[in-house]
Structure formats: structure tokens, C-alpha cells
């Protein structure tokens, strides 16, 4: 059921784009209440307004801090037209019904960009605006709320098409947008008062882009050395922390552009480092290093021989730190033992945000479907390879031998290209692939990957399964007495 608008309250900081909507309200015979600069703007257009002060009987006071904060205004917005008690009280106290609220907010974020003077910033914290927006949105059954100039033309079209009326669905949709506006505004103010939770970065992914980090890095780690973390550093550090959290045994990994370019598990940190670096010493240049064991002097001496951006570990020996701090810009991060869990993944896309649960676990089942059972050593390598593959961009292939990544292909448009790249990488650094295992982040739609890998020397494979063509790969493994494991979980990663 549609409801006709009889009155509107307009109080906006920016006046651009308002005139067509205001003229539509005038054409529909809607009474307009307004304040200060907005009233002067409308009257300058020849649009009649009723001053809010005539309702409240109070002028704008305290340097403009108090204009609309009055029971007559909020009663007119919050009064429920379907509640007889509300209607009686509104009549008793001379409170007019306000059916439409058009309010934008003081430019707090714009002020932050233009000045660091606290007095100017504080005065751009809007009080009445968010209050009126929330009140109108709460009472969407009777009231329309417009909290952003982007919606002016939409409302104008609705009022033109529907002779000054709106539907409950339209009012609820505007209310939802209004709450988002207020939420964003409050977060910006909260970040200003909690500077540790907002960090301006030197630049974004590229030098011409601005960037800000919202979050408290101090909860996760202590920075022991080096320059300020950059946008790209943070992205790689996130990938590194997520990856190393998968492993319990002593493991060292090297991250480049969020992908694993080297990883190995060995009895000691130094051995893990040597094996991880050997997996792809070329890509390791300028990478982010991460370890789940304490960095000792022997390891620091070896690491110090290459150029890297960041090193992350749970602890550092004092003499190791002395070596690593020899480069003043080298970033050293000590992970805190009591750090909170990372938030569930989210991604800003289009005009919204995608959220999903964390990709936890390695596999949901271990189903042997090949021509033979995996050996004990293959089982360990396959489980290791599956975790590594989980942290490579799709399409992804990981080749592992003795818990060392010896070849990987990632971010390819076809799985067979990822495999060819992985084999080429292994050959580049003189790895013998006989005895290596292969992990795929998604199923094999054909048996070509298995066949190519077998011809390169591999005899054990792990993949999610679930394709109608799984039987092709299984039949090839059966005929050639190769091991194949189905995991039940796909680890596709953009």
C-alpha cells in the first residue's frame, strides 16, 4: 500500500543535486521544513520553507551545534501513525507529522584529508544528522529517509511516477541504505579516535594509489625492526601468517605476491630454511619469509645473505636479531603467542562486500582410488602438498618431495598449464621428480594432467574429486599402478 508524503524535513551540508527533488516536492504540495543554510538555499530558488525554529521555538544555538535536537522534531519523525497513543500525544504537544527526512552528514572524512587541526575535525562530527537519519530509518513504515545525494534522483522519479507517494518496500530499501551511511560515518569517527586501528600507508598496490589499513597490527605481532609496512607487504604477510598456521612441525616458507615459492619441513629451522630456499632461489629475491620456529644465529647468518622484505617468526635469539638488524629497512615481525584468530575472509567487490567462512582443514576424507595404496612416505608428502596447494592461486599445482616444494604452478587459466609450469620450475632447479607427489587444488576433468605428471616421474596424486570425469584419471592410475587420493575438499583460491 502506498503512502503519500505530506511534509518533509530537509537539512543538508551539500546542496548540489537538491534542486530538482525540492521542486518535485513543491509541485506535489508537500510542506517543507528546513534549517539554516538549506532554508536560505531553497528560498533563494523560490521554494517556500517553514523554519524548524518555528516548531521548536528555539533558535540554532551553541554555534550551530544544536538546531534539530528537540522533541517536536524527533516526535514528528518517530511518531507511529498506526499507534493511537502516539497520535494523541502528537496532537496534545503540537507535533506535526514528518513523512520525509532528507539529511546528509558533515564532511568528517573530507575534513580529515584536508587538515590535522583537531578543533576543525571535531566540529565536523555530526550529531543531529545521524540521529535524524536513524530515527527516520527506524520508522520506515511511515517515513521516507534519504541519507545520500545519490538517491535524490531516485526519489524524484518515484514521486513523479506515484504522485508523491511511496510504497513500504521503497521506504524499507531507503532505510537500509541510510543505516549503511550512518555505520560508515561512525566507523570513520571511531578510527579517528583509535589511531592504532587506522594506519595511513605510503601508497597502495601501486605508487599512484592511496591506501589505509583498518585494524590493530599490534594484536598480532611486534615489529622489531624495519620501515613501515606497505600495502603489498601487508597482503603478503597475511598470506604468510595464514600459510604457516597450517603446520605443526618445524617449517619455513617464502612468499612472493601471496603465493608460496618455497616451503619445507625439516628437523631444524636452518634445515627448513635451506630446503625452502632451494625450491626456488630465484623467486625468493625480495620475498616475505615466515617460520614457526625460533630464528637462531646460524639461520640468521644464512638468511642474511639474500635480499628479503619481511621475516616473520614467533621468536628470535638475541644474537640472531643483531645480525638481522644490520639492514635498517628490513622488517622483522615477532608473532604473538596470544594473538587473536584472523577474521573471516572478506573482499570488496562491485558496490558491496563478499564474506565467507575460513577455508579450514586439509581434507574431509582420504579415499584411495588408484591402482595401488599410497606408501607411508607418500601419505606424508601428499598431505603436505595438499596444504601448500591450498595457499597457491588457482589454477594451482604443487609438486612435493620429502616435504619440500620442488615445483609449483599457480594463477594459470588452465590446470594443464599450471602443471607444465610446475614441472618446468622443478627442472630449472635440477630436481628429480621420480618419487615426487602432485597436489591439485581442484579436480582433474581429464586424465591429461595425470599422464603428463606420470611421464615426468610422479606416481602419487591428491585431488578433491567430484568431477564426472574422475573415472578417466582413476582408470589411468589403475592401469599404470599409480596412487590416487580423493580428499572431498576443493581449495580453489583467487
The Cα 365–Cα 193 span in angstroms is 48
173 class by beta-carbon count within 10 Å (0-12 exposed, 13-18 middle, 19+ buried): middle
Given the residues 138, 149, 177, 427, the one annotated as active site: 138
Backbone φ, ψ for residue 108 (5° rounding): -65, -50
- E-assigned strand segments in 136-286: 144-146, 165-167, 198-200, 212-214, 221-225, 251-256, 259-265
Which residue pairs, CB below 8 angstroms and at least 24 apart, start in 17-24? Answer: 17/149, 17/152, 17/153, 18/102, 18/149, 18/152, 19/45, 20/152, 20/153, 20/156, 21/102, 21/152, 21/153, 21/155, 21/156, 22/47, 23/47, 24/156, 24/159, 24/160
Intra-chain end-to-end CA distance of the chain, in Å: 45
The Cα 90–Cα 322 span in angstroms is 74
How many other CB atoms are found less than 10 A from the CB of residue 319? 13
Q: Is the dihedral of CA 211, 198, 177, 131 positive or negative?
A: negative
The Cα 45–Cα 39 span in angstroms is 10
Given the residues 70, 149, 257, 325, the one annotated as active site: 257
The Cα 329–Cα 227 span in angstroms is 5
Single out the residue of 193, 119, 181, 179 nearest to residue 150, CA to CA.
181
Backbone φ, ψ for residue 310 (5° rounding): -140, 145
297 is catalytic: no
138 is catalytic: yes
Element (H, E) at 427: helix 415-428
The Cα 102–Cα 7 span in angstroms is 11
Single out the residue of 149, 150, 151, 142 nearest to residue 171, CA to CA.
142
For residue 102, the SS3 value is strand
The Cα 458–Cα 370 span in angstroms is 13
340 class by beta-carbon count within 10 Å (0-12 exposed, 13-18 middle, 19+ buried): exposed
The Cα 462–Cα 202 span in angstroms is 42
Instruction: List the catalytic residues.
Output: 138, 257
Amino acid at each position: 500500500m502506498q503512502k503519500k508524503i505530506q511534509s518533509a524535513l530537509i537539512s543538508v551540508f551539500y546542496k548540489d543535486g537538491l534542486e530538482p527533488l525540492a521542486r518535485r516536492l513543491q509541485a506535489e504540495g508537500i510542506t517543507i521544513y528546513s534549517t539554516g543554510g538549506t532554508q536560505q538555499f531553497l528560498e533563494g530558488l523560490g521554494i517556500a520553507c517553514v523554519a524548524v525554529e518555528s516548531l521548536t521555538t528555539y533558535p540554532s544555538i551553541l554555534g550551530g551545534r544544536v538546531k534539530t535536537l528537540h522533541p517536536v522534531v524527533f516526535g514528528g519523525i518517530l511518531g507511529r501513525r498506526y499507534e493511537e497513543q502516539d497520535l494523541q500525544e502528537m496532537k496534545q504537544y503540537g507535533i506535526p507529522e514528518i513523512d520525509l527526512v532528507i539529511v546528509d552528514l558533515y564532511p568528517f572524512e573530507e575534513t580529515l584529508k584536508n587538515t590535522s587541526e583537531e578543533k576543525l575535525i571535531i566540529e565536523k562530527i555530526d550529531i543531529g544528522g545521524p540521529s535524524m537519519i536513524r530515527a527516520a530509518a527506524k520508522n520506515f513504515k511511515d517515513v521516507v529517509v534519504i541519507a545520500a545525494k545519490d538517491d535524490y534522483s531516485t526519489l524524484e522519479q518515484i514521486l513523479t511516477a506515484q504522485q508523491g507517494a511511496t510504497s513500504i518496500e521503497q521506504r524499507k530499501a531507503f532505510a537500509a541504505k541510510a543505516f549503511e551511511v550512518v555505520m560508515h560515518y561512525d566507523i570513520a569517527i571511531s578510527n579517528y579516535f583509535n589511531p592504532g586501528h587506522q594506519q595511513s600507508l605510503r601508497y597502495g598496490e601501486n605508487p599512484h594509489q592511496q591506501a589505509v589499513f583498518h585494524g590493530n597490527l599490534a594484536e598480532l605481532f611486534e615489529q622489531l625492526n624495519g620501515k613501515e609496512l606497505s600495502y603489498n607487504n601487508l597482503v603478503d604477510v597475511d598470506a604468510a601468517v595464514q600459510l604457516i598456521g597450517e603446520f605443526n612441525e618445524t617449517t619455513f616458507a617464502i612468499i612472493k605476491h601471496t603465493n608460496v615459492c618455497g616451503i619445507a619441513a625439516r628437523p631444524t629451522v636452518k634445515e627448513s630454511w635451506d630446503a625452502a630456499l632451494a625450491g626456488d632461489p630465484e623467486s625468493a629475491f625480495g620475498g616475505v619469509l615466515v617460520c614457526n620456529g625460533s630464528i637462531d644465529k646460524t639461520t640468521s647468518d644464512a638468511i642474511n645473505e639474500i635480499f628479503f622484505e619481511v621475516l616473520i617468526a614467533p621468536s628470535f635469539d638475541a644474537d640472531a636479531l643483531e645480525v638481522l638488524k644490520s639492514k635498517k629497512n628490513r622488517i622483522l615481525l615477532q608473532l604473538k603467542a596470544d594473538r587473536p584468530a584472523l577474521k573471516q575472509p572478506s573482499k570488496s567487490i562491485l558496490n558491496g562486500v563478499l564474506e565467507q567462512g575460513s577455508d579450514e582443514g586439509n581434507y574431509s576424507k582420504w579415499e584411495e582410488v588408484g591402482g595401488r595404496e599410497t606408501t607411508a612416505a607418500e601419505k606424508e608428502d601428499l598431505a603436505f602438498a595438499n596444504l601448500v596447494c591450498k595457499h597457491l592461486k588457482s589454477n594451482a599445482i604443487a609438486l612435493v618431495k620429502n616435504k619440500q616444494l620442488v615445483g609449483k604452478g599457480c594463477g594459470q587459466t588452465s590446470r594443464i598449464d599450471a602443471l607444465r609450469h610446475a614441472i618446468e620450475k622443478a627442472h630449472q632447479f635440477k630436481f628429480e621428480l621420480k618419487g615426487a607427489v602432485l597436489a591439485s587444488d581442484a579436480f582433474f576433468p581429464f586424465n591429461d594432467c595425470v599422464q603428463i605428471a606420470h611421464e615426468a616421474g610422479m606416481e602419487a596424486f591428491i585431488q578433491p574429486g567430484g568431477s564426472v570425469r574422475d573415472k578417466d584419471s582413476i582408470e589411468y592410475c589403475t592401469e599404470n599402478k599409480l596412487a590416487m587420493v580423493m580428499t572431498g575438499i576443493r581449495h580453489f583460491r583467487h
